[in-house]
Structure 1
Amino acid sequence: MFEQGPFGRQAEEMFSQIAKTFGDTFGEEFAAPFRERALSFRTDIHEDHGRYLLEAELPGFRKEEIDIDYTAPHLTIRAVRQQAEPVSEEDGRRAIRSERRYGEFVRRFYLEDVDREGIRAQLKDGLLKLDIPKKETTISKRILIEGED
């Protein structure tokens, strides 16, 4: 009853268990891809005229629940959702199914040469948009030889 498909919630629980099992055995780095799948959010990143444009789906989050940090060369987006107080059966209601996720959702991105002071963020309708300008860098420089021929 109320099950939406054979791979929905079971897949999430399976990835969480795999992350815990392999993280305990082989270390945190090994388990990171599994954990990311279990407690993550979807993003798109584009590069355009000297800047990165990042869009992250964070439906239901308020801007106060989202933390964005750039510590070279990593950009980290962390969103924390606190679990609501459970409804007691004294109120005449009981939970039949609870699928909403609670906890900390984190993504970390490797971005070089970012102008950290120029990063701008906007949250609208559950979509976080980051405008991340790159630093001006000179890839090559021509050097002239001084003096007599």
Structure 2
Amino acid sequence: MTIIKSIRPFGFLNEFFCEAPFFSAMKADVKETENSYIVEAELPGVKKENVELICEEGVLTITAKAAAENADEKARYLRRERNTAEIARRFEISGIDEENITAKLEDGVLYVTLPKKAPEKNEKHITIE
């Protein structure tokens, strides 16, 4: 299993210039069980309507958008950390059953369960002449 940290090649610049936690890399754990892989990604303050999951050819992409609510554009902010931001992470996980992936967002943590494919049998029956 290979994990790709970020789809942004210069993601370290975001961490350098932005102190708000959402702007830094999405924190995630990947666990392996007997029958599946489980990705647990921190998405504090993000609503499920603002999360997009795409799995294509063994690559799971999580994209989340956080929007500051009730932002007063006329106000003079001394410090503003609650901005609109978008973050994405990619995970390359081979041997998964893409048709049966499930996900839930609970208490700011996204849980994605990626079932493993059943092992293919390379068994060939040979007829006797």
Q: Mapping of 1:1-149 within 5 angstroms?
A: 31-32=9-10, 34=12, 39-84=24-69, 85-89=71-75, 94-138=76-120, 141=122, 147=128
Q: Give the direction of change, closer, same or farther, for the CA distance of 1:101–1:43 in structure 2 (3 Å limit).
A: farther
Whichever structure has more helix as a proportion of its residues is 1
Whichever structure has more strand as a proportion of its residues is 2
Q: TM-score, normalization: structure 2?
A: 0.73
Identical-residue share of aligned pairs (%): 32
Look at both structures and tell me which one has the larger radius of gyration over its CA atoms: 1
CA distance in 2, matches of 1:33, 1:96: 26
Unaligned runs of 5+ in 2: 1-6, 16-22
Q: Could you tell me whether the CA contact under 8 Å between 1:87 and 1:95 is conserved in 2?
A: no
* TM superposition shift of 1:67: 0.2
Compare relative contact order (CA 8 Å, sep 6+) and give the higher one, 1 or 2.
2
Q: Which stretches of structure 1, 4 residues or more, deviate above 6 A after TM superposition?
A: none
* TM superposition shift of 1:82: 3.3
The CA RMSD measured in Å over matched residues stands at 2.6
Unaligned runs of 5+ in 1: 1-28
Q: Could you tell me whether the CA contact under 8 Å between 2:95 and 2:116 is conserved in 1?
A: yes
* TM superposition shift of 1:48: 0.2
Q: For this pair of structures, how many residues does the alignment match?
A: 115
Greater Cα shift, 101-110 or 61-70: 101-110
Secondary structure, aligned partner of 2:79: coil
